[in-house]
Each structure stands twice: as C-alpha cells, then as structure tokens.
A and B are shown apart, each in its own frame.
Chain A
Amino acid sequence: MDFPSQLLAKPDALILDLAANSREAALSGLHAMLAKCPAVKDPPRLLHGLLERAMLAPICLAPDVALPHARTDAVERIVLGVARLAAPGVGFDAEHPNVRLVFMLGTPKPQVDEYLLAVAAITRLLKAGDGRAGLLAARSEAEFRELLERGAQP
C-alpha cells in the first residue's frame, strides 16, 4: 500500500460523533485526540498552525467536509486525525454551515511531496459523493475504518 493510502487507512486519531458546537470546539476536540500521537511533538504549536492556516483561506472541501491542515515543525511525521461530528454539524464559515466530516492533517515542513499526496488522496475520497455519504452513514468505528480503507485504495 502506498503512503497516502496507508495514512488514510490507519489515521492517527479517529473519533465518531464528536460533540461540538463551533468550529473552534470541533478543531480543539479532534486536536486533543491527535495530540496523543507520539509523532506530535508540540501539540499547542500544531493547533496554532491549524488555526492560523484556517484563518488565511477556506479549508472546506464540500458543504459538509473540512480539511484543516498545516505544515509545521510541531510534528515529526505526517499525522492525520479524522472526526465525524454529531448531526447537524457545525458551521466553519458562511458557505459551509453544516460541516460533519473533519480531516486534520499535520505535515513536517520539508515534506511538500507527502503533503500534496495526502491532500490529493483525501480530496479524492471526500469529493466523491458516495464516499462521503458512506462515511456519514457508517454505524460503527469498524465500518468507518473499513470505508476509509476502501476509499484509500488507489
């Protein structure tokens, strides 16, 4: 399995039906899970990087999908956290009022190639309507992981 497929199939953090009532709460909740990953050396710095990037330009891929990402020295390797928010989701911006899927990506600064590979793989998975619908409808973590793994196949 190649690098982006592996990353998607086995995310460093996964949380389903995360309760959050704002963008910041959603990001903080997923970040708290991801911060447990040993590859995250400096969790506050990672969060700062993610929020800073989110302020610069929209990070949403679809009406219900967000991809907060940052290239930062706070991680040792590329890390991915995935969260499904409880319905009806939270508003990330005016155009994306009901985001329910959040894919959080942290990439070491020198790894431009890996960053682009990962973002391309995630966007491919989530832009496909059925891929997104399946993830939203998954009834268990195992089913969610299976869908991720299947979607990660190149």
Chain B
Amino acid sequence: MKVATDPATELLARLQRLLRWRLWIQEKMQLSEWQVTLLWAALAGFMGCGAALIFQALAEGVHEVLTGTSAGVVESMRQLPWWGCLLVPALGGGAAGLVLHYGQRLTRSQSSTDYMEAIAIGNGRIPVRASLVKCVAALFSIGSGGSIGREGPMVQLAAVVASLVGRWRQFTGPQLRLIVACGASAGIASAYNAPIAGSFFVAEIILGTIAMENLGPLAVSAVVAALTIRVLTSAQVMYQVPGFQLNSPWEMGPYVVLGLVVGSLAPAFLRSLRQAEQFFLSLRLPIGWRLALGGALVGAMAINVPQVCGNGYSVVVQILNGPVVWRVLLGVFACKWLATMASFGSGAPGGVFTPSLFMGASAGYLFGAAVHAVWPTGAADPGAFALVGMGAFLAAASRAPVMAIIMLFEMTLSYDIILPLMLCSVIAYYTAKGIQGSASLYSDALKRKEGETAAPMVPVGRVRELMRPNPPVLAPSARFQEIAQLFLAVRVNNLYVCDPAGGRFLGAVSLHDIKPYLADGNLAGLVLARDILREDFPRIGPSQTLSDALGLFLAHPVERLPVVDPETGGLLGSLSKNDLLLALVERRKPLSAA
C-alpha cells in the first residue's frame, strides 16, 4: 500500500537523496580544482589551435594576393620579376605600417599586447583590439615575404583567445595568467607541431619554472592543440631528415667546437637585431615608411637571393637534406642575417624564432662542411651539424636549452642526433651566457617592458588581490532544505553563514558534517543552519599576507577561506587555495628573471 506523504517531506527526501548522490559523485569522480583547470587548459589548446590555423590561412591568402601565386614564399619570389621582388615586400611593409598607424587610433588607451608580458609581469589581460591590429599588420609583413616568422602572431592570437576565455569565466589573476600561458603553449604546439616543446617553451622561458602546477595545464593545452592540428590538417613531422649516425666518439670533438661557435654567434645575432632596431628608430620615419623601407631592403636582397624571404623554413629543409654548395649557403646566410635585421629592425610584426633556426642550421652546415674538408671522417655528413646547430643556436638565443633540445627532437624525430645535440646545446648555452649574461631572444623584450611598466601588475602578496567576491551564503535560520539546495547548486564543501541584517560572518556549514545524516529524514526536518554552524571556521582578513593564508590552509583542511572585514566582521569574499598556490608558484620566480 502506498503511504501518503506531504509534498514538503517528499521534497526534503528528494533533496537528501540528491545530496547523497552529489557526495558520492564528489568522492568517487568529482573534478578537483586542478582537474577543472586542466579542462580549461584543454579548451584553450583547442581554441588556440583554431586561432593559429586561421592566421596561417589568412597569411597564405595575403601572400597569394600580393604575389599572384600559391607557391611557397621563396618559390614565389623566384618567379617574380626584379621589380616585383622589390615592390612586394616594400608594399607589404608599408601596408603593415599603415595598419599599425591607423590601428593605434582604435587602441590608444590599451596597454601592451605582448602575451609574454601578460603572463610574466602582467595580469593576464591581453587587449583584443590592439592584438588584432598587430596580427593584421603581421599578415601583411609575413604575407609579403618579410624575413620574419609567422609563429609570433600565431602564438599571440592563441594567447588572446585564451585570455578572452579566462576573462569570460572571470578567472583570478594567477588563473588568468596560467590560461594565457596555456594559449601560448597551444600556439607554439600548433606552429611547430611540437607539444612537448610548446609546454617547455612557456614554462622555461616565460614562467621560469617547470613546476607541475604550471607544466600540467601547459602540457594538456599543447597536446590538445597538436591533436587538433593533426586532425584538421595534414601536419606531420616539421623537418623530415635523413638518418644520421655517430660512427665514433671522436666525432663529438667537432660538435664541442660547434657549440662554442654557435654560442658566440647567437649573442652577436641578437645584438645585431637590437642595433638594427635602434638604427631604424633613429631615422625618425613614420611607421608606414619605416616598415616599407625594411621591406624594400629585404626585396632588394631577394632579387638575387630569394631565400632571404619568409621565415627560412624551406631553406632549412634543403640544408638538412643537403647537399648544399657551401659558398652559396654562405651568401644566403649573410643575406638572411641582414634581411632579418631589416625586417625585425624596421618593426615588422612577427617572430624571430624560425629565422633563428635558419641561422643555426646554416652555421652548423657551414661548420660541418669546413670540418669535412679537413677531416672527412670527423664530419661525414654536414647535414647532421646543421641539425645540431639549429638546436644549439636556439638554446643560446632563447637561453632555454631544455626546450631547444626537446624541440629539435620533436621537430625531427631523429633520436640518433640526441647525444651531440645535448652536448652542443649546453655548450652553446653556457658560451652565450658567458658572453651576454642572462639576456636572450625574449628576456630583452620582457626586461624593456618591465622597465616601462609604472606599477608592477603582480600581486603584492595581500589576500584582497586574490579574493573572489560574492561567495554563496546562508542565513542562520536556513532550513535543511535550503542548505541542501545550495550545496547541490554550488560546488563547495563549506557554505558560509552570515547574519542577514549586517552581513556579519558567523561561521560555516560543512557538507561533511551532515553527510552521515543524509539518510535521516527526521534529523533533516529539525536542523537549521545555526544548529550545525561551525563558528570556529578559519577566516582571514583582506589585508593579511598570502603567507598568513598559506599558514591557515596548512592548518585547516579547507579549499577556500572566507575573507572577513576585521572591523565590521562582514564577509567580503573568499580566497581559493588553488589561486594561492598559483600565485605562490609565480612568486618563486624573481621579477628580474622574467
């Protein structure tokens, strides 16, 4: 016989059942904050990859419009008449300059667009309009054959998309910086089809730490991006190389010398880029004319040496797969260096990562060819030296040897080269460090921007900066039904109880306190929030330091702390342990190292 019960009792029983299920799910399979972070990292990876692919397609479209052919940059320059070679990069540079000039009107009040700055010393917010302006300008400079890499804008766009996701979800500062870092990691993974290197690039160069709190989300983001790009495109190993073989341990000798050579060359390359930048600025030309001049210089060289155009990828593939006439390569190497100085120095938006790979590959091949000439068995294949040179140059220029070694391995999947690559990269790294200190391809920009930033954007270590407003609260008179409904609606283990009159924090109701009684309908009918309130629940003031908060988190097994005004006792917000840990991980890196 069915027992008749009143609707209120039925509702209460249903809520209790749901709450029991919620607890069961929470204990068995509910996602922790870190797991949720990984999901957002995966989304950043997917969207970052999409943004990178769109940029790549647009850059190819602009190139086709300007040159009238869909062939590669070097090939299309070869097909153009001399005046076309001169005109296309100049026009592209001019157009990029005009976009930047007029784009500034739209973005005058916006702060720096640099994703590295946003991650390392900023608040994770990358201005969208300013970034789009920069990327549109980059489309012209890259599409017209400027000696610049397209990976820079691809990573920038991926980071902007991640920043937008984080802002939409109202992430706190440390979370926002982490999600932007995930976007950047996805951008690099998409550009080079290298997920491990993508994660390590951001961790080692930008964040300055490979702590799992950061590396985990970065890796997830990069893997998702790499998978997406493999599904959506026919992306394969970036540099297909022949098998290399180390026949004798004596062959390591030339690699040691190569490390010293490349380690000396990289600082000179970086210095030359800075000098070129200063030279172009000293001309005091309007930005459009300045970029057009840079493009014209590249175009002038491209009349005879079309290999100077673009990021150098196709030439690197030729070098690695050899043979190459060393005299020709020497000329291309010198011209490419000058062309990169012209593009970068004039301010063409883009990256210098891939041009750096070109410099390393050329230098390595030339060195290998020289050794081969005097000791044929010591350098049987100069192509192997080109491969090692790429990694070593990258290690020296970026001051990130781990990333460089991993990236080279990922881009070539050639394990035979790993021993000389590791040795040469480390030697090049220390040589470059000895010559030029801690300055690198990226730290230069960050250091300059850090100096320009009037007030540091990093939190100064007070609770209020990481506080999240409006935590879910209960009144002390809340019935069990209301408590259960709120626990089901929000994913917290403790609900704060506040005085409804003044908002004074009274304590917290713990889900785990009521867990054993969820099957007890009688108890549920009798209990109010004030009956099961924990008045001694830990709390923190907004002006207290993050170290104080860490102490409280260590002393109490809670995921969030209520932030309470010490004077009025009013609840101001809550502090998440996750946010605090992220902030502390970031703080381990001194600003000067950014």
Contact = CB atoms under 8 A, between A and B. Distances in A.
Interface string A55-69: 011010100000101
A61 B534 contact: no
B531 A115 contact: yes
A67 B516 CA distance: 20
A124 B516 CA distance: 14
A71 interface: yes
A129 interface: no
Given A123-B520, A123-B522, A112 B532 contact: yes
Contact of B536 (A61, A110, A113, A120): A110
Interface in B10-69: none
A20 interface: no
A119 interface: yes
B531 A69 contact: yes
Interface string A110-143: 1011011001100110010000000000000000
A123 B520 CA distance: 9
A146 B536 CA distance: 38
Given A57-B477, A113-B513, A119 B528 contact: no
Contact of A127 (B513, B516, B522): B522
Interface string B424-437: 00000000000000
A109 interface: yes
Contact of A115 (B516, B525, B532): B532
A130 to B, nearest CB: 16
Contact of B514 (A109, A110, A116): A116
B526 interface: yes
Interface in B485-540: 510, 513-514, 516-517, 520, 522-523, 525-528, 530-536
B535 A116 contact: no
Contacts of A112: 510, 513, 532-534
Given A67-B526, A112-B513, A116-B513, A57 B520 contact: no
Interface centre among A61, A112, A124 (most CB of B within 10 A): A112
B372 interface: no
B477 A56 contact: yes
A71 B523 contact: no
Contacts of A69: 531
Interface residues of B, number: 21
Contact of B526 (A61, A71, A110): A61
A56 B528 contact: yes
B535 A110 contact: yes
B523 A109 contact: no
A15 B526 CA distance: 24
A27 B514 CA distance: 28
Given A56-B528, A71-B531, A119 B523 contact: yes
A71 B530 contact: yes
Interface in B287-309: none
Given A57-B477, A116-B513, A123 B523 contact: yes
B101 interface: no
Contacts of A59: 526
A65 B525 CA distance: 14
Contact of A119 (B526, B530, B536): B526
Interface centre among B520, B523, B534 (most CB of A within 10 A): B523
A30 to B, nearest CB: 18
A153 B431 CA distance: 80
Nearest to A120: B523
Nearest to B528: A57
A147 B526 CA distance: 24
Given A57-B477, A67-B526, A116-B532, 17 more contacts: A53-B528, A53-B530, A57-B479, A61-B526, A71-B531, A71-B533, A112-B532, A112-B534, A115-B531, A115-B532, A116-B513, A116-B514, A116-B517, A119-B526, A123-B520, A123-B522, A123-B523
10 contacts: A53-B531, A56-B530, A61-B522, A69-B531, A112-B513, A112-B533, A113-B513, A116-B523, A123-B523, A124-B522
* 6 closest A-B pairs by CB: A123-B522, A127-B522, A120-B523, A56-B477, A112-B513, A109-B535
